Amino acid sequence: MYIQSNPALEKDLNKKIPLAVTFVLICGFFVFFRLWYLQILKGSVYCDLSTNNRVRITSIPAPRGFIFDRTGAALVENIPSFDLTLTPQDTPDETGVLQKLSLLLREPVDVLTKKLDQDKGRPPFEPIVLKQNLSWTQMAAITSNRIDLNGVNIDVVPQRTYHLGAGSSHLLGYLGEIGRHELKKDFYSDYAHGELIGKCGIEKWGELYLRGEPGGYQTEVDALGHKKNILAQIDPVPGSDLFLSIDREAQLVAEDLLKGKKGAVVALDPWLGDVLVMASSPGFDPNLFSRSIDADAWQNLLRNPNNPLMNRALQSQQPPGSVFKIIVALAALEEGLIDPQKELTCPGSFAFGSHVFHCWRKGGHGAVNLRRAIVESWDVYFYQLGNAIGIHNIAKYAAQLGLGTKTGIELDEEKSGLMPTPEWKIKRYGTKWQRGETINTAIGQGYVLATPLQIAAAFCGIANGSFIPRPRLVLKVKEGAETISFPPAKKNLLTVTPQTVSFIKDAIAGAVNDPRGTGGRARIDGITVAGKTGTAQVTSLQSSPAPGSAQSTTNDHAWFVAMAPVENPRIVVAVFIENGGHGGSAAAPVAKEVIKSFLHLSSLSTGNPPALPEVLD
């Protein structure tokens, strides 16, 4: 049978075949590209998604290390806390589950919805925390209705608890959720979103040791997200424990005496630099931060005019008042510019040029020598003494005693204070130093500023007679069976004679124990306490007290610094009461009780002081 060819049809077919082939090739290319994209480029991603439909990886946070005092008493521990979580992938009806949770928890559904919406960008198989710190009643309600709450779980999480009061909050610090800027730092490279870290105080300093290593486990789950079988588990490694130099009992005494006041108490071991007490008031409850602080509570802390977030022990820079006279006396004796037995007249005022500097006693004190001027804190004597020895000599010995520089304590944000000099004033204000400013500096007023920690450290140098110790808060870190010790260190060496040190000690012992001494309220039967009062004028007055403050903001600041027992000092205490009035009445009794508390717990030794290792820095 013969089929007649159709040239027109063949021509038409010849035109369409290449188009069909091209179309098939293009479709094949897109299919190939899609398969390559899904299986090669995104294969691991979809593999993980597939695996997580049946295998769930759950992180187990590591218990944070404990913090103890020098005797082994716990200052910070962990207690179990219970979190309510929801896994979006396992919750088909999120709206219905949230409504049921709202009824069980007795909380508005909007609050729970907001929590869920905040973490919408996270993988659907990662649990989202809806509520922290569930009560026993709430846990019972959730557990009894678990069958109707697909994707809902209760996780046990360690929660920080602080055993000291608000006065220790700056010292111990608190925890907070890691921020975006912190996650960008190398130190936090292995931290997860939402993890809690130390934000300040020892919690921040010890983050490297306290954190521990998180663990985790793999579980097989069913279609509803319920756990069926644990496939693998890695136990978390608890953080290391820190042992601080703090004496818990003396710390609690200081905190109690500071309640209702603004101020700080610092006590140091004058030989080792151990921080025995560091209390600042007002403070805050660090337990508020143990998981996450309420936004309103945080704003209240920030807006409080009494500034409870400020660590006054090392951040409050104030004129030291008459406490500074000890440094002026030391400078005059060391430079041989004063005969301590020579008497100077105190008529009640000292005229210099057109300005008249007044003594705190209007009628004056008559003729007095250096010891009596220290014991009774006579201003006119030190006006004359400061004018005679000059600002450079005063600044020289103030620098040796560590004023004007940071002490080097472990805590962040320590202030350096200020020891003014003519060079500093030219650089700061572009004007020359005036001799009248030296006279004002001689009684601890004017530009000179110091923190309570600096004052305590400076008097450690007078107590031991040879060096300023660097304050030490952390004695050791215990990592399992291993212990890392932090030895004491010297900050500055003193070039003062034993005769000068002996004279100063005798004079400040008289300030407490002589009948006319200004520090008589620090006297302790059976123990020779030496100390110096200070009353610093307020240079910036407010018209009325701050809300919630029991102290007037127009009163002078009260200082007192002491050592005991003076024959072989074991403790140096600096007390600062903001707007407290007179140092002898407001600050000296606080120092007395702290000394009594510490020495009662310590074994008083009449032997040699503890040996100090070679200088470490």
Does the pLDDT of residue 255 top 80, yes or no? yes
Report the pLDDT value the prediction gives residue 62, as an integer from 0 to 100. Answer: 85
369, amino acid identity? N
Supply φ then ψ for residue 4, to 5 degrees: -75, 130
Measured CA to CA, the distance from residue 110 to residue 120 in angstroms comes to 15
Report the pLDDT value the prediction gives residue 152, as an integer from 0 to 100. Answer: 86
Considering the chain, tell me which residue range(s) the CATH 3.40.710.10 domain(s) occupy: 248-285+311-601
Supply 522's token pair.
Answer: 């620090």
Helices (H), 304-349: 312-315, 325-334
Confidence band of 607 (pLDDT split at 50, 70, 90): very low
Measured CA to CA, the distance from residue 54 to residue 186 in angstroms comes to 34
> What is the chain's length?
617
Q: Give the list of residues 6+ apart from residue 503 with CB closer than 8 angstroms, or none.
A: 333, 340, 370, 371
462, amino acid identity? I
pLDDT digits (tens, 9 = 90+) for 495-530: 999 999 999 999 999 999 999 999 999 999 999 999
Supply φ then ψ for residue 18, to 5 degrees: -60, -35
Q: Give the list of residues 6+ apart from residue 151 with CB closer than 8 angstroms, or none.
A: 86, 87, 88, 89, 90, 91, 97, 224, 225
Q: Give the list of residues 6+ apart from residue 488 with CB closer than 8 angstroms, or none.
A: 271, 272, 273, 274, 469, 470, 472, 612, 613, 616
Which residues are paired to 59 by β-bridges?
216
Instruction: Compute CA distances 326 → 177, 504, 509, 531, whole Å.
Output: 46, 7, 12, 10
Query: In the CATH scheme, what is the code of domain 248-285+311-601?
Result: 3.40.710.10
Angle 164-75-491 from CA coordinates, rounded to 5°: 100
- Per DSSP, 200 falls in state S
Roughly what angle, to the nearest 10 degrees, separates helices 325-334 and 391-400?
100
Query: In the CATH scheme, what is the code of domain 62-77+158-244?
Result: 3.90.1310.10
Considering the chain, tell me which residue range(s) the CATH 3.90.1310.10 domain(s) occupy: 62-77+158-244
* Interstrand relation of 474-479 and 482-485 (parallel, antiparallel or unpaired): antiparallel
**How many Å from the N-terminal Cα to the C-terminal Cα in the chain?**
112
Measured CA to CA, the distance from residue 191 to residue 184 in angstroms comes to 10
Measured CA to CA, the distance from residue 237 to residue 501 in angstroms comes to 51
pLDDT digits (tens, 9 = 90+) for 47-57: 654 555 566 66
Instruction: Compute CA distances 472 → 211, 409, 611, whole Å.
Output: 21, 6, 16
Give percent above pLDDT 70 in the chain. Answer: 83
Confidence band of 299 (pLDDT split at 50, 70, 90): confident
Supply 510's token pair.
Answer: 């008289």
Measured CA to CA, the distance from residue 225 to residue 227 in angstroms comes to 6
Confidence band of 545 (pLDDT split at 50, 70, 90): very low
- Per DSSP, 82 falls in state E
Q: For tokens 């925890």, what's the residue?
A: 175
Q: For tokens 């400020």, what's the residue?
A: 310
pTM: 0.81
Q: How many C-beta neighbours within 10 Å does residue 310 have?
A: 17
Does the pLDDT of residue 358 top 50, yes or no? yes
pLDDT digits (tens, 9 = 90+) for 24-39: 777 777 777 776 766 6
Residue whose C-alpha is closest to residue 65's, from 193, 171, 208, 186: 208
Measured CA to CA, the distance from residue 146 to residue 142 in angstroms comes to 6
Q: How many C-beta neighbours within 10 Å does residue 24 have?
A: 10
- Per DSSP, 476 falls in state E
Residues serving a catalytic function are: 322
Measured CA to CA, the distance from residue 532 to residue 378 in angstroms comes to 12
Average pLDDT, the chain: 85
Span 478-490, average pLDDT? 92
